[in-house]
Chains A and B, each alone.
Chain A
């Protein structure tokens, strides 16, 4: 089993999403979030979930030897 370009892209996406999640949690970014809140934990949680899903997607996209 080895990585494909899609695997790499999805892993990179997962890393980016984790970074975005942290930036939301810290309140550094607040796109589409309630401007009255200092920290945007809802968005952070959502981006963290998306990062996990991107990592799962990367696992699915790995090259596997043909069965049989």
Chain B
């Protein structure tokens, strides 16, 4: 991998990790479209991914550091007391429940799924499926909205993340399992799940980002020893990780603002087009 390719991949990963368009899908499709010779399945690629994930997770932690402080202290307090009091403690426990399905599935089945589906054509096909999921979630959401109201009023009728039931949090968390398929977006699946669970768009995005942080951080931290194997260009990879983190921070800020009144539709349409273009170009 050349320096330019590494930096581009860092930027791409950071930007697409939080946009509901599948970072893994893009990371599989884009190099193939450009006929870049490096392979995602190559063991030397793992340390690169580790640092990119750590960059993204750091960006999310910086963005939500006050919330994470309250969530962590809330978890400890509730765990010791054996009872939930207040919104922070409830959000902490909702995140624990929501993280379990993807954490377990990722731990046990990620390498299996990657080996099975990490080819560009499959990723392009799953990107189309991702687009249909996003558009489908919005179709169902529109049925639950008041038609004559403004977008702000429509959104206000739905719930914040703290009001989710634990069953709903588990189901939203289970949506993250879909992201094991390259082309299915983790944030897209959880946002779609959040919308179906009755969250406001902005809250669905916030819950999705909070849910993603432990999984992305753990995926990165657990592989840190890979960074210290011989022959790893740590400086270049670190620069790509910084770009990835900056892109993730910028895209998270953009999305939180977008989802005040915006919807998933444009990202759904983008996935349909990008997936179709990928299938056409990768014949």
Contact = CB atoms under 8 A, between A and B. Distances in A.
- Asked if A pairs with B, the answer is yes
Main secondary structure of the interface of B (DSSP, over half): helix
B79 interface: yes
B163 to A, nearest CB: 20
Main secondary structure of the interface of A (DSSP, over half): helix
A46 B82 contact: no
Given A45-B222, A53-B96, A60 B83 contact: yes
B217 to A, nearest CB: 12
B183 interface: no
A43 B107 contact: yes
Residue with the highest number of chain B CB atoms closer than 10 Å, among A34, A59, A62, A64: A59
Interface string A32-67: 101000000111011000000100100110101000
Nearest to A60: B82
B228 interface: no
Contacts of A45: 222
A59 B222 contact: no
Contact of B82 (A41, A42, A59): A59
Kindly state the interface size class of chain A when it binds its partner: 10 to 19
Kindly state the interface size class of chain B when it binds its partner: 10 to 19
A56 B78 CA distance: 9
Contact of A32 (B83, B103, B108): B108
A64 B83 contact: yes
B5 interface: no
A42 B222 contact: yes
A53 B111 CA distance: 25
Nearest to B43: A36
Interface in B53-96: 79-83, 96
Contacts of A41: 222
A46 B79 contact: no
B107 A59 contact: no
A59 B84 CA distance: 11
Nearest to A61: B82
Given A41-B222, A59-B80, 6 more contacts: A32-B108, A46-B104, A53-B96, A59-B79, A60-B82, A60-B83
Interface of B: 79-83, 96, 100, 103-104, 107-109, 111, 222-223
Interface of A: 32, 34, 41-43, 45-46, 53, 56, 59-60, 62, 64
By Cβ-Cβ distance, the 5 closest A-B pairs, closest first, are A59-B82, A32-B108, A56-B79, A42-B222, A46-B107
